[in-house]
Structures are given as C-alpha cells and as structure tokens.
A = this chain, B = another copy of it.
Amino acid sequence: MPNRTTLKDVAREAGVHISTASRALNPSTAAIVNPETVQRVTDAAKKLGYRPHPLARGLRTNRTMSVGVIIPDVENPLFGPIIAGIESVLVEEGYSVLIGNADRGPNHADSLLEEMLERHVDGLILATPSREVSAAAKEARDTVSIVLVNRSVDDQSIPAIVGDDHAGIGLAVRHLRELGHTRIGHVAGPSWVSTGAGRRQAFLEWMSNVGLDSSEDLIEEAEWYQVEPGNTAAINLLSRHPDLTAIVAANDLLGLGCYRAARSLGKVIGVEISITGYNDMPLLDLMQPPMTAVRVPYRKMGADAATTLLAMISGEEVPGGPVHLAPTLAIRASTAPPPSNQH
C-alpha cells in the first residue's frame, strides 16, 4: 500500500528530528538546514518512497491543493475541452480537480459550491451560465479565489475567461460579406443567456460596420440552444424575409436547425443559402454539408482560467472582468457566394 511511510520514518532513517526532515524536504525552508543534511534526508525519503500526506499537510497549512470546477452540464460536448484545459494545467502544478455537474436545477450549482467550500478547495472555476452571480458565490468570494469560464457576469469584479463573441460574429459577418452576401439574417440564442444577448448585439454592430442594413427585424430569437428551436426560428425568419441569402446562427445547434429549415423550404445549403454556426463543436465537419463555423478555443479557455486561478491563489493581483479569447473561422461548405441571378 502507498504512503505507509511517514515523515517520522524518514527522519529516523536520516538520523534527524522530524522537524528538520520537514524543512529539508520543503523547498522554501530547505535553505535553513545544512545542505549535507538536506541530501541525507532527501536520500532517505527517496529510499523509503516517502510521499507527504496531503490531508495532514492541508490541515496544518489550510491548503488542500485542490480546486473545484462546476459545469452546468457535463454531457454537453462543449465542456469536454474546457475541462481538459483546466485539468492539464492544474495537474501539472500538483492540484487536483473536483468536478461538479450542476444539471439538477438552478440551485444545484449553489449546493455544489457549498460542498466544495466545505472541502476547503483552494479555488473555484465556474462555468454556470446565468448572467448574475449567485449569493452563494458572492459569499464564497472572500474565502477562495474564483474564476469564471465561458461566461461573464454583469458584476465585473470577478475574473472571467470568455470567447470574444463580438470578434467571432464579426468573422462570420465579414466572411459572408466578402462572399458577396448583402441580405443576412441572425438566429439568436435566448437573450437571458449572456452569449445570446452578446452575439445578437454584435451582429447588429457588424452589419452596419460592413455597410449593410442593420435592423432588429433581421433577427429571430430561438427559445433555447437546440436544433428544433433553431428550426422554428429560422422558418419564422425566412418567412419574414424570403430574400435572405445567408443566416448567422448564434450556435452550432441553431445552425443545424437552420439546415433543417432551409431543407424544408427546398433551399440547397451552401448554394442557395449560406449558414454559419458558432462554437465548432465536434462532428460539425462531418455534417452535410460541412458547416462553416466560428471556432472558440475552448481548451485554451479552460487552461487560461486555470492559470489565472493559480495566479490568484498565489496572491497575485488579478484584474477583474472578462478576458476575451480570439476566435477563428472554420470555413467549410455551408457558405458560398450568393446565387448570382437574383429574381
């Protein structure tokens, strides 16, 4: 079994007191003790296969070397890369990742947060979607470091790592504009979700930026980020504006809903109508036709959140508010120049 050898054993083996052994093994205090003894202790530790007991250490130092990560829905493939990014940097620094899946209602996230605080995590990374920070999180903030990922919060005091939705929508709109589209619509996400509201706003701004008509009328809001709501929203939009040659969807699934709507209206995607997605989730390149989509660097997003969290934990002053990560555009077959002959 592991970890049966304690610091006391190492001390005995090296012929020193347990406290000297502790200091010798701890890099920050090793300078106090004679280099020769440090060597002896280190050798003894290696020989006995000593590993410090994290609980005992944590009890004394009030640090558990663990951080909690709360995800709104682990089954959503979007969060895989985020988790991977977080995990990769934290494990490297010796931290463990506690995961919480807040898929049982809005207050579930708070109870998970409470439990993680009880466990004395050294930090928290929250990916829960709501735009306002909960009371529990507020209370937690003066206890542990908190970083948000993939969502910002109206209260700009908490550091957040988010995708740059404004730039992302810009990539899509400019791409379509450069292809020659002039009549572009937007299927928006629900406006109570931060991404829904933000991308909608960005769409309007970019439309006028590229010199096109920027009207609320070109936007139809889907009830939820799913295929079917996207479908109905797109049908509404296209019945209002049958002359649209392109749709910017606020989300990949909404984009797939647009696919369905276009098909049901007899339009050939990537020829008669262009559609862009957002997020570039896995398998999107395997759709028919493969979907052009704004790609958000989710893995990097997780990794950056973890590194800023580590900075906060080690006492550095970290500016609050969102940090925007630049998206890219994965251009595929769902976008093409508009039909040349306009009737």
Contact = CB atoms under 8 A, between A and B. Distances in A.
A60 to B, nearest CB: 9
A143 interface: yes
A75 interface: yes
A143 B2 contact: yes
A79 B79 CA distance: 11
A148 B157 CA distance: 43
A77 B84 CA distance: 12
A117 B87 contact: no
A286 B227 contact: yes
B98 A143 contact: no
A77 B74 contact: no
A286 B1 CA distance: 49
Given A1-B142, A99-B87, A101-B83, A120 B286 contact: no
Interface residues of A, number: 54
Interface string A100-139: 1101000000001011111110000000000000000001
A56 B118 CA distance: 12
Contact of A101 (B53, B64, B87, B281): B87
Contacts of A288: 287-288
B76 A118 contact: no
Contacts of A84: 73-75, 101, 103
A142 B77 CA distance: 35
Nearest to A1: B143
Given A3-B118, A74-B84, A286-B287, A59 B51 contact: no
A286 B77 contact: no
A240 to B, nearest CB: 25
A97 interface: yes
A58 interface: yes
Contacts of A103: 84
Contacts of A54: 118-120
Contacts of A87: 74, 99-101
A16 interface: no
A115 B142 contact: no
Interface in A253-274: 256, 259
A99 B101 contact: no
A326 to B, nearest CB: 21
A307 interface: no
Residue with the highest number of chain B CB atoms closer than 10 Å, among A87, A139, A142, A281: A87
A328 interface: no
Given A73-B84, A77-B77, 9 more contacts: A2-B118, A2-B140, A3-B120, A54-B119, A74-B80, A83-B101, A87-B99, A98-B98, A287-B287
23 contacts: A1-B142, A2-B114, A2-B117, A53-B59, A54-B119, A54-B120, A55-B55, A56-B59, A74-B80, A74-B83, A75-B81, A76-B80, A91-B100, A96-B98, A96-B115, A96-B116, A96-B119, A97-B98, A97-B100, A98-B99, A283-B283, A286-B287, A288-B288
Interface of A: 1-3, 51, 53-56, 58-59, 64, 66, 73-77, 79-81, 83-84, 87-88, 91, 96-101, 103, 112, 114-120, 139-140, 142-143, 227, 256, 259, 281-283, 286-288, 299
